[in-house]
Structure 1
Amino acid sequence: MRLPPLLLPLLCLALGFATANAEDLLPTLMTTRGKLLVQQDFEKPLPPFDGKSNGFASGFKAWRYNSAARGGHWDVVNGTFVGKENPAVQHPATASYGFDFKDVVIQCEVQMHDVPMEGRPKRHVQVRTTDTKDYICSVGIDEKGFNIRKDDNDHGGPDKAVPLGLTLTPMALGEWHTVLFEILGDEMTLTVDGKTMTGQHPLITSAKCSVMFVAGVESAVRNFKVWEATPNSDWAKNKATILASMKASKALPAAPATKPKS
């Protein structure tokens, strides 16, 4: 069938756009992407936070940011979301996107900026999940590498953070690093710049209320997307490969962290 002259360029443009979007997505290893839940391209300023929240963790929808001096300051700048830690407070800048979820695929790009420290202790960026009251699990990136952990879920209480994996590899300042964060059941998997690690803990199964970005000194986020996740049929094979690689590179924690603390 011969296409009308005006339809052919439009079709080519649409196919090119679809291909570009597909190429932007990293292949998942533990899960399969489902329905798109969140897409934030930071093309225009975000509306100010004007809701009420249960502390930092829940009770709000969409963005919660610039709500307290302690949480630093965030601005949309040229398609990126930039967080700056307040040197006087020395508490990382935080911004959270509130929605209800459980098993998801989170993908974004993060960048640590090469700016003066001004007394602030450490350059880093984190992507964290929360339940109704506290943190569940997170990925962390600093200049020395990246890590995954089950978080402290009761600040000041008996529960403690549990490291699940650590990769030591230089993470350049001023460069974008693509983060693929998969959560399914009691497992989490992280891929950064082509390197992958996985971990397991019962707390990860919790119902979740927000995704938080944490910027130590100054960092930026762009192309933030979240999808519903379902099991990947190749996970058993992929997991064995990842664990073998983690063992060889000494990225595994010193002891299994699959049992809750008594």
Structure 2
Amino acid sequence: MKSSLLLLFAAFACSNLAADDLPKTLMTTRGKLLVSEDFTPPLAPVVGKPVGFASGFTGWRYNAGPAGGKSGYWKLTDGVFTGVESPGANHPATASFGFQFTDAIIQCEVRLNDVPDEGRKYRSLFVKATDAKDYVIALSVGPGGLFLTPYDAERINPTTKQREKGTAGRALTPVKLNEWHTVVLEIKGTEVVGTIDGKSTTLSNPLIGTAKHSIMLGAGTEASFRHLRMWEALPNADWASAKAALQATVKP
């Protein structure tokens, strides 16, 4: 009986340590774990028939062919999912994970790989949430830090037929190449918070509250992802004060 209690206490202590090791959230608290992807083969295959922009399927859709395609391709090696933009394409490699949600906390570790640019325009990566029609919100990371970009349901680009971007929120901080950084995207209602290595920014937009249908990862030049997690986003009683403190640090 005593040994059983010790084992139970040890398990409880380990679970608390694991929770304490997670990056802090500002707007929300973590509820049930919904997605846990460590990028070890095989990735969950696509189930269902894609409908519209990014709906009707679950699992992963991504470019897995050889180099030289229109946008790029992906490599899966030892728990690291790497997107490579083809030289001359000037369009990031993209991978979509079909999963329907409204409010959520999305977290992963990201790395901008130090490889020759070979004429490619941008060294960047992104995590986007999409609804059935288009992009809703984008968290992007470049050498200068993290950017949150909303999309506008009322403004459509006449050439691309896609939603126009709104004004981005910024968390400016140096992002070194070939080093892993932790990003957290909190989505609840019409607000989002984006955090990289503890530095955050926030914004709100009516479109953010729509039902989301997938998470899209993207890599410009070359970037890697690992340890993708997604939790229910529950209310955080401290958000009002945390938001005020965060907004006070934003320069006009």
Fold shared, TM-score > 0.5 on shorter chain: yes
Q: Determine the structure 2 residue equivalent to 1:213.
A: 217
Q: Name which of 48, 55, 79 aligns with 1:58.
A: 55
CA deviation digits over 1:166-204, x for unaligned, max 9?
Answer: 133211001111011101111000111111111011111
Q: Name which of 215, 233, 238 aligns with 1:229.
A: 233
Q: Determine the structure 2 residue equivalent to 1:131.
A: 131
Q: Name which of 187, 194, 200 aligns with 1:190.
A: 194
Q: Determine the structure 2 residue equivalent to 1:199.
A: 203
Bigger drift between 28-37 and 219-228 goes to 28-37
Q: How far off its partner does 1:47 sit?
A: 5.2
Q: Secondary structure at the match of 2:51?
A: coil
- Separation in 1 of the partners of 2:78 and 2:138? 27
Q: Determine the structure 2 residue equivalent to 1:22.
A: 19
- Separation in 1 of the partners of 2:108 and 2:32? 17
Q: Determine the structure 2 residue equivalent to 1:36.
A: 33
Where structure 1 has 5 or more consecutive residues not aligned to the other structure, the ranges are 253-262
- Separation in 1 of the partners of 2:198 and 2:147? 14
Q: How far off its partner does 1:48 sit?
A: 5.4
Where structure 2 has 5 or more consecutive residues not aligned to the other structure, the ranges are none
Q: 1:158–1:208: structure 2 CA closer, same or farther, 3 Å change rule? A: closer
Q: 1:23–1:82: structure 2 CA closer, same or farther, 3 Å change rule? A: farther
- Separation in 2 of the partners of 1:33 and 1:215? 27
Computed over aligned residues only, the root mean square deviation of the Cα atoms, in angstroms, reads 2.3
- Separation in 1 of the partners of 2:48 and 2:112? 29
Q: How far off its partner does 1:164 sit?
A: 3.5
Residues 135 and 163, structure 2, Cα contact 8 Å, conserved in 1: no
Q: How far off its partner does 1:14 sit?
A: 3.8
Q: Determine the structure 2 residue equivalent to 1:257.
A: none
Q: Determine the structure 1 residue equivalent to 2:94.
A: 94
- Separation in 1 of the partners of 2:179 and 2:214? 26
Q: How far off its partner does 1:87 sit?
A: 1.3
Residues 105 and 183, structure 1, Cα contact 8 Å, conserved in 2: yes
- TM-score in terms of structure 2 length: 0.88
- Separation in 2 of the partners of 1:15 and 1:230? 22
Give the AA of the match of 1:106.
I
Structure 1 residue 162 and structure 2 residue 166: aligned? yes
Residues 134 and 163, structure 2, Cα contact 8 Å, conserved in 1: no
More strand, by proportion: 2
Q: Name which of 232, 238, 242 aligns with 2:242.
A: 238
- TM-score in terms of structure 1 length: 0.85
Residues 46 and 58, structure 2, Cα contact 8 Å, conserved in 1: no
- Separation in 2 of the partners of 1:158 and 1:26? 34
Q: Determine the structure 2 residue equivalent to 1:172.
A: 176
Q: Secondary structure at the match of 1:70?
A: coil
Q: How far off its partner does 1:2 sit?
A: 2.6
Give the AA of the match of 2:37.
Q
Q: Determine the structure 2 residue equivalent to 1:141.
A: 141
- Separation in 1 of the partners of 2:25 and 2:50? 32
Q: Secondary structure at the match of 1:151?
A: strand
- Name the count of aligned residue pairs: 245
- Separation in 1 of the partners of 2:17 and 2:157? 43
